[in-house]
Amino acid sequence: MEQSKLTDRVYELQGYALVLDKIVFLTRVFQAEDGEGFQFNIRFAGDLRLTPKFPTRHEAALQRGLLIKALNY
């Protein structure tokens, strides 16, 4: 039973397993530097940051929205 509780609070994004309880801040979607597509930043407790990048704004916004939905679940 404990295993299912843990997996309910983990979200996979671009090969990373994100522990949802450790996420403290999400930025809006913005254009990455040097034409590398679009990104948003995820900040975790302990000041760790992840910056997933996507080829299109639509894909970045979709992935951010799905992450927010998982956080609110």
The reported pLDDT for the residue numbered 5 is: 58
Q: How far is CA 29 from the centre of its chain?
A: 11
Tens digits of per-residue pLDDT, 4-45?
Answer: 555 568 999 999 999 999 999 999 999 999 999 999 999 999
pLDDT tops 60 at residue 3: no
Q: Is the pLDDT of residue 2 over 80?
A: no
The class that CATH gives domain 2-72 is mainly beta
The ranges assigned to domains in the chain are: 2-72
Contacts of 21 (CB under 8 A, 6+ apart): 9
First to last CA, the chain: 18
Average pLDDT over residues 36-65: 96
Check residue 6 and give its pLDDT: 55
Enter the pTM of the model: 0.84
